[in-house]
Amino acid sequence: MSKARWIEILLVISIVILGGWAYQTRQVSHTNQTITAVGSTALQPLVEAAGEDYAGQHLGTFVNVQGGGTGTGLSQVQEGAVDIGNADVFAEQQKGIVPSRLRDHRVAVVGITPIVNPKVGVSHLTTKQLIAIFTGRVTNWSQVGGHHQKIVILNRAQGSGTRTTFEQYGLNGHRSIAAQEQDSSGMVRQIVATTPGAISYVGFSYVDKTVRAVSLNSVAPTNQNVTTNHWKIWSYEHMYTGRQPQPLATAFIHYIQSAKIQKTLVKQLGYISISEMKISRDGHGTISQVGSSHE
């Protein structure tokens, strides 16, 4: 046999061995030790922090958290490619997802508030005014009691959970006119802070001194008001699994839902604990008192 032949055979053998090894390790880590959670970037910090905690307490376990967006998370978990799909919206609200194939686990609540550039001179609006602004009927802040300044609308990308929630509960289902779009809340805050006349919306945890959160119909955007549904623009953070989830994935989700995480991490990271909610809302927006009916 020629030398070249030998090299070829050697190459093939080593590729087979490497491939087989990769396949083997994939199997082992997949079934035993790793949970993969993919999806919403709004929920990512919480899952990452909780994942580190969980891995610290359960040696040999590894929680792999990736972003990618709500759509990615839901479609990947539906296909069975990942264990957990993180989402800002109900599976019912996402096109192309069959909700009956997934199991919903709510792990936190996020309040969303309109924010404006501090120099527009407006700190409260009515829902009617908000709809008028985002549908383009009002184009100057002086029309809603502010300074003479053109309104600059800033949206999140189409299909983002924050935008879906805002349009559904903040604009009562009206769609925003086509305007600037940004794909992250941090970017939105920075642009609102620096652009005169800008208005947008972010989760409560993103509000800081550089922007002004606007109260709606004289209700202030506070966690307290979210728990009673007086502040209507909020959404659950969901962790979806398949109908028959992996035991480890279920255990991890229960860990996030446990009182310990809900009282510490959830609050530190600016979410609202699921246990504080006095009402609950289903995928169609129907409100019920907690305790009277339970999921």
Partner 1 sequence: MNNQLKKQLLKRSKAAKLERLGKSVSFLALMLITVTVFAIIIFVASKGFSTFFSNHVSFVDFITGKNWNPSVTNAKGQPEVGALPMIAGSFIVTILSALVATPFAIGAAIFMTEISPQRGAKILQPVIELLVGIPSVVYGFIGLTVIVPLTRSLFGGSGFGILSGTCVLFVMILPTVTSMSVDALRAVPRYYREAALALGATQWQTIYKVILRAATPGMLTAIVFGMARAFGEALAVQMVIGNAALLPTSLVSPASTLTSVLTTGIGNTVMGSLQNNALWSLALVLLVMSLIFNLVIRLIGRKGAMSK
| Structural contact between residues 155 and 180, judged by C-beta atoms closer than 8 angstroms | yes
Q: What angle do CA 270, 176, 225 make, to 5 degrees?
A: 35
In angstroms, what is the minimal distance from the CB of 260 to partner 1? 31
In angstroms, what is the minimal distance from the CB of 17 to partner 1? 19
Binding residues for partner 1 (CB under 8 A): 2-4, 7, 41, 67-72, 74-75, 78-79, 94-97, 152, 157-160, 175, 178-183, 191, 194-196, 198
Alpha-carbon dihedral sign for residues 114, 42, 183, 74: negative
| Residue 81, φ and ψ in degrees, nearest 5 | -75, -30
Smaller CB distance to partner 1: residue 206 or 255?
A: 206
Smaller CB distance to partner 1: residue 122 or 216?
A: 122
Strand pairing class (234-242; 84-87): antiparallel
Smaller CB distance to partner 1: residue 18 or 178?
A: 178
Smaller CB distance to partner 1: residue 67 or 121?
A: 67
Scored b (16 or more CB within 10 A) or e, 15-48 reads: eeeeeeeeeeeeeeeeeeebbbbbbbbbbbbbbb
Smaller CB distance to partner 1: residue 40 or 262?
A: 40
In angstroms, what is the minimal distance from the CB of 108 to partner 1? 20
Kindly compute the dihedral angle of the four CA atoms of residues 73, 74, 80, 83, in this order, to the nearest 10 degrees.
Answer: 50
In angstroms, what is the minimal distance from the CB of 277 to partner 1? 26
Rounded to whole angstroms, how far apart are CA atoms 6 and 111? 66
Smaller CB distance to partner 1: residue 137 or 263?
A: 137
In angstroms, what is the minimal distance from the CB of 134 to partner 1? 14
In angstroms, what is the minimal distance from the CB of 93 to partner 1? 10
Smaller CB distance to partner 1: residue 76 or 227?
A: 76
Q: Which amino acid is at 112?
A: I
Q: What is the largest CA-CA distance in the chain?
A: 90
Smaller CB distance to partner 1: residue 117 or 280?
A: 117
| Structural contact between residues 174 and 167, judged by C-beta atoms closer than 8 angstroms | yes
| Structural contact between residues 223 and 272, judged by C-beta atoms closer than 8 angstroms | yes
In angstroms, what is the minimal distance from the CB of 60 to partner 1? 31
Q: What angle do CA 39, 102, 32 make, to 5 degrees?
A: 70
In angstroms, what is the minimal distance from the CB of 58 to partner 1? 30
- Burial of residue 154 (CB within 10 Å: 0-12, 13-18, 19+) is buried
Both ends of the chain: CA-CA distance in Å? 71
